[in-house]
Amino acid sequence: MTRIKPEIMSPVGYTPQLHAAIEAGADAVYFGLRHFTARAKVGFTLDELSDVMRTLHTRGVRGYVTFNTLIFDHELREAVRAIEQIAAAGADAVIVQDVGMAQLVRQIAPDLDVHGSTQMSITSAEGVALAQRFGVSRVVLARELSLKDVRAIREATRDAGCDLEMFVHGALCVSYSGQCFSSEAWGGRSANRGQCAQACRLPYALIVDEQLQPLGDARYLLSPGDLYALHQIPEIVEIGVSTLKIEGRYKDANYVALTTRAYRQAVDAAWEGRAVAISRGEEIALEQVYSRGLGAYFVSGTNHQAVVGGRAPRHRGVLCGRVSQVYRDRVVIEPTGIHDEAPLKPGDGVVFDAADWRSPEEAEEGGRLYEVSAVGRLLDLRFGNRAVDFTRIRQGDWVWRTYDANVERAAKPFTQANAPVQRQPLHVHAVAREGVPLTLTWTLVDFPQIAVTVQSDEPLARANQRGVSLETLRPQIDRLGGTAYRLEALTVEIAGEPFIPSSILNRLRQRAVEQIAERQAQPPARLLHDPEAALQAALAAVE
């Protein structure tokens, strides 16, 4: 059985998230356009797509376009024209929900990969086989599956030639993706059309036998927590899942940077047989940047009571304590154990969670901390003048940190990089012979089909003293700082005692880097068929 190192796929809402994903180590990103996407509020325009793909490919990152809504009949012509443009722009795949659209993609652009969206609700080997019949080469499995289920599907489809993809982090739905119609039924906004109103994030009452049941702090009965499968990465790698997907096209660049980095490190460690090491501080940062309550949930097996806590439907950050006393101008809290790893400090944003006694539809109280001081084992919290209404806070309220400047600081190397953080490995082969021009062949390790050869204009003269060697050549070839590349391996063929001036190496190195980047930026040569003709043929076949 051939081992597969999973691809890390990160969410991209727009340009800041795109750059954060690249620098944090994503192998691929997924994003939508302004139409035909399940996240209709974010995405690029068709006019921007070519530049987006050039940016990605120059950095060795694949780009998948979400085309994952159901298509109405009157939209078919616009949809097939969009597919032609997506293929021409160099997208590596489209992610689709509509099986009719999957077949049309194959007819319009046979070389463009088609991925079956999680909106297809594929939960079995039979579902994978059905998707393949429509031209799908990769299936995004339903988020409700356990690793036991995923393993069974992988074993049953190992020889079928279809890649499996699964979500490992981010928001969960209360229903199978693609099967929830509450938003459409209640507000005319279909989740299968990119307009989900998130009815699952609303408060509800529970009536049993016509009797209203007391719920305590659990008012959000349909709002799941967020998936967090970092500790399951070794098993996922062992199963043979091809791609690990991070949810969050509506999330900011800090979220994309920190989650991508965490899963990049975890996959690399698992692949190399090392333990997946993540500190408590790093886990706190993931919880702080965005979380409705992190957990493995369905990945570790079905337990619906664990998936939905019910206290809140939104990002809470990190639970930092409970209110012990309320004064006219300050609050004293009993901190949680989090204080040892990531203590509260001036500038942090906090919110007081009064779900035990106040309606969830009322505004919560909170603000930025002005001063934090220890009072024995308790903490005294003070705020700016009139920033907080202390009459709306009670003893026992939960205290969440909703903002921490340290999170932005941790993400900054990836969100505001001055030079490439992730650099692509190169293999360089040098041929240096007296009386013959120097030849350098540069090959991308991860994309060996991309290789360039550069040659000096003049033949190499004999060295007056010591000729060139592998040891003297490597540090000069390796001067790639500030570029998107790094030297991983250098091999040499040397004949005689050739002398290589530094000026020649500098020119050849610069020329090689420019040519490699140019090769990467070129869109793939694709066979494209007339989209209108393909559509007419498909419609005629079903009449």
What is the per-residue pLDDT for 199?
85
What is the per-residue pLDDT for 38?
66
What is the per-residue pLDDT for 497?
92
At 303-325, the pLDDT tens digits run 777 899 888 898 989 999 999 99
At 149-202, the pLDDT tens digits run 999 999 999 999 999 999 999 999 888 877 888 878 887 787 777 778 788 899
- Give the burial class of 243: count Cβ atoms within 10 A of its Cβ; 0-12 exposed, 13-18 middle, 19 or more buried: buried
Q: What tokens does 26 get?
A: 């994503």
What is the per-residue pLDDT for 122?
96
- Contacts of residue 155, Cβ cutoff 8 Å, sequence gap at least 6: none
Separation CA 248–CA 210 (nearest Å): 39
H or E element, residue 46: helix 46-58
Place of tokens 């019910």: 310
Res 543 pLDDT > 80? no
Question: In this structure, are strands 398-403 and 318-326 parallel, antiparallel, or unpaired?
Answer: antiparallel
Res 1 pLDDT > 70? no
442 φ/ψ angles, rounded to the nearest 5 degrees: -110, 125
Place of tokens 């490919």: 57
Separation CA 134–CA 67 (nearest Å): 15
Q: What is the 3-state secondary structure (H, E, C) of 369-425?
A: EEEEEEECCEEEEEECCCCCCHHHCCCCCEEEEEECHHHHHHHHHHHCCCCCCCCEE
Based on C-alpha coordinates, what's the Rg of the chain? 27
How many CB atoms sit inside 10 A of residue 356's CB? 12
Res 456 pLDDT > 90? yes
Question: In this structure, are strands 330-335 and 318-326 parallel, antiparallel, or unpaired?
Answer: antiparallel
Q: How far is CA 141 from CA 117, 201, 232, 398, 443, in A?
A: 8, 23, 16, 36, 35
Judged by DSSP in three states, 176 sits in: coil
Query: Percent of the chain, pLDDT > 90?
Result: 81
Number of DSSP helices (H) and strands (E) in the chain, helices first: 16, 24
What is the per-residue pLDDT for 411?
97
Q: How far is CA 127 from CA 166, 341, 446, 455, in A?
A: 15, 45, 32, 53
At 240-255, the pLDDT tens digits run 999 999 999 999 999 9
The larger pLDDT score, comparing residue 395 to residue 189, is at: 395
Residue 65 pLDDT grade (very low, low, confident, very high; cuts 50, 70, 90):
very high
Strands (E) located in 404-524: 424-433, 437-444, 451-459, 461-462, 485-495, 498-499
Judged by DSSP in three states, 509 sits in: helix
Judged by DSSP in three states, 304 sits in: helix
What is the per-residue pLDDT for 190?
76
Q: What tokens does 436 get?
A: 């013959």
Classify domain 318-415 by CATH architecture. Answer: Beta Barrel (2.40)
Separation CA 494–CA 430 (nearest Å): 8
* pLDDT-wise least confident of 39-53, 335-349, 382-396: 39-53
**Farthest-apart Cα atoms in the chain, separation:** 100
Separation CA 171–CA 144 (nearest Å): 12
Res 376 pLDDT > 80? yes
Res 333 pLDDT > 90? yes
Q: Average per-residue pLDDT in the chain?
A: 93
60 φ/ψ angles, rounded to the nearest 5 degrees: 75, 25
Residue 541 pLDDT grade (very low, low, confident, very high; cuts 50, 70, 90):
confident
Q: Determine the distance from the C-alpha atom of residue 184 to the mean position of all C-alpha atoms in its chain, rounded to a whole number.
A: 28
CATH of 7-305, one of 3.20.20.70, 3.40.30.10, 3.40.309.10, 3.90.1820.10: 3.20.20.70
How many CB atoms sit inside 10 A of residue 386's CB? 7
What is the per-residue pLDDT for 466?
79
DSSP 120-163: G---SHHHHHHHHHTT-SEEE--TT--HHHHHHHHHHHTTTT-E
Separation CA 420–CA 439 (nearest Å): 27
H or E element, residue 169: strand 163-171
Residues constituting the chain: 543
The larger pLDDT score, comparing residue 436 to residue 359, is at: 436
